[in-house]
Amino acid sequence: MNTLEFIQIRRFIVKLGKMLHKYGTPAFRLEAYLLEVASYLGVHASFIATPTSITFVIWSDKHEDEYNHAARLQPGDLDMSALSLTDELANELLSGKVSLSDADMRLDKINEMPSPYGKVITGFAFALATGSFSMLMGASVPEILWTGLLGFVSYLWVLWAQKSKRVNLMLEPVTSFMAGILACAISRYFDPGINIPLMVLSSVIILVPGLALTMGLAELSSRNLVSGTARIMDAIMQLFKLYFGAFLGVAVGFSIFGQNQFEPAASLPYWATWLAVGLLCFALVPIFRTRIKHIPWALMSAFIAYGVTVYSSIYMDQTFGTFIGAFALGVFANVFTRIANQPSTIVAMHGLIVLVPGSKTYIGLNSFISGQDFVQADHVGQEVFLIFMSLVAGLIFANVVMPTKKAL
């Protein structure tokens, strides 16, 4: 291998690593995938990834050429479309269908691609996701509709944060603060008796870092101690910011519009929870930027994860039911990888979002600080911890029983 070829290879690996980090790939998967690519390209390498940085060390067989590179990066957001296209490109490169120079140019095109669904569809997806989640939490029909409206308002703040660094720094508390005030205004002028805390939680559920906490625990379980600890601490800080904004927003709203008296409405029928799971997963397609051809797989993953968990919990403890649900999800995601030759993350995230107890973490924080529960939540702190550990254990056992063919 000559020096010019080595330079071309290390440029591609560095660009690929930064892009996968940008798409929210967990550290242990990112490092393993880059090692596979480096091995196929004929170089030795070592990588260290954290939520805010990535370090590359690349060298040739006899150390004639060596390269070190460290980059400070922003935490990535889930982008399943770009992740899928990047993986397809890497497969074509490793199978010899495209040259390294062509692959490098195509990486640039993938990196510059906008969301395939556009801002309007994504905004309605936010509204549908928040409304569906409130339906899962037992909200009444008016509360579901109002929550969807608040979810759309939350998306407007997300759009503003993409253009303003100042708003981005305060996105979580500002969004939940405005949701709290608007919910109080709705209670005062339009719909007295609504469950304000539940509406506020549901309207910002996309920002609640349940997935980040799960990924952080998964990284810790794979001995990525720095990355896992950093991700968990970042998720905890996001959770505190969300709760502080909501607490302050509701307090200000009550002082302006007056206290409301919550009046429990008639609960929706049992089949509504299954409808909510389907709508929530469908709404996550534009939010996660999932490709159209993967939508049926994503929907199946959500129903498998939720269905197995619900029916397992009938015969055993809920924590063990969650373990069985995560195990079934992991097996299904690895089957998807073998059939579609795509990263298991693409479908696993849709199922995980139904299982992760991000909302219960928020509820537990509310119970700890205020001493009040706005939904039925006994021993929620212990339950949250056990569910998180059951999720991670279920996914690990699934990889043992049905090993994945891809590191991603």
Pick the residue with more confidence: 358 or 346?
Answer: 346
What is the Cα–Cα distance from 14 to 31, expressed in whole angstroms? 12
Give the bridge partners for 68, in sequence order.
Answer: 57
Q: How confident is the model at residue 217 (pLDDT cuts 50, 70, 90)?
A: confident
Q: What's the domain range around 92?
A: 3-112
User: Is the domain of 407 the same as that of 379?
Assistant: yes
Q: Which residues of 230-258 are buried (b: 16+ CB within 10 A; e: fewer)?
A: bbbebbbebbebbbbbbbebbeebbeebe
Claim to verify: residue 234 and residue 256 sit in the same structural domain: yes
User: Based on the domain organization, do 258 and 146 belong to the same domain?
Assistant: yes
Q: Which residues pair with 69 in a beta bridge?
A: 56
Domain endpoint, select from 78, 112, 146: 112
Range of lowest pLDDT (56-70, 200-214, 219-233, 257-271)? 257-271
In the chain, DSSP finds a helix count (H) and a strand count (E) of 17, 3
Check whether 55 has a pLDDT greater than 90.
Answer: yes
Of 73 and 138, the structure prediction assigns the larger pLDDT to 73
| In the block, residue with structure tokens 């393993």 | 32
- d(CA 355, CA 391) in angstroms, rounded, equals 8
Q: Which of 289, 307, 342 is the last residue of a domain?
A: 289
- Do the beta carbons of residue 242 and residue 113 sit within 8 Å? no
Res 359: pLDDT: 45
**Do 384 and 359 form a contact (C-beta atoms < 8 A)?**
no
Chain centroid offset of residue 307 CA: 20
Q: Is the pLDDT of residue 376 over 80?
A: no
Q: What percent of the chain has pLDDT over 90?
A: 44
Q: Does a structural domain hold residue 214?
A: no
Are 312 and 324 within 8 A, CB to CB? Answer: yes
**pLDDT above 60: residue 374:** no
Residue 329's pLDDT band, with cuts at 50, 70 and 90, is very high
- Position 388: which residue type? F
∠ at Cα 201 (200, 202), nearest 5°? 95
pLDDT tens readout for residues 227-268: 889 999 998 899 889 989 998 999 999 999 888 777 777 778
Q: Which of 123-127, 139-143, 212-216, 403-407 has the lowest mean pLDDT?
A: 403-407
What is the tens place of the pLDDT at every residue in 196-209?
888 898 899 888 88
Q: Are residues 198 and 340 in the same domain?
A: no
The CA radius of gyration of the chain, in Å to the nearest whole number, is 22
**Residues 79 and 126 grouped into a single domain:** no
Task: Identify the domain boundary among 46, 81, 112.
Answer: 112
In a domain, 356, yes or no: yes
Q: What is the mean pLDDT of residues 311-336?
A: 88
pLDDT, position 131:
93
How would DSSP label each residue in 3-19?
A: HHHHHHHHHHHHHHHHH
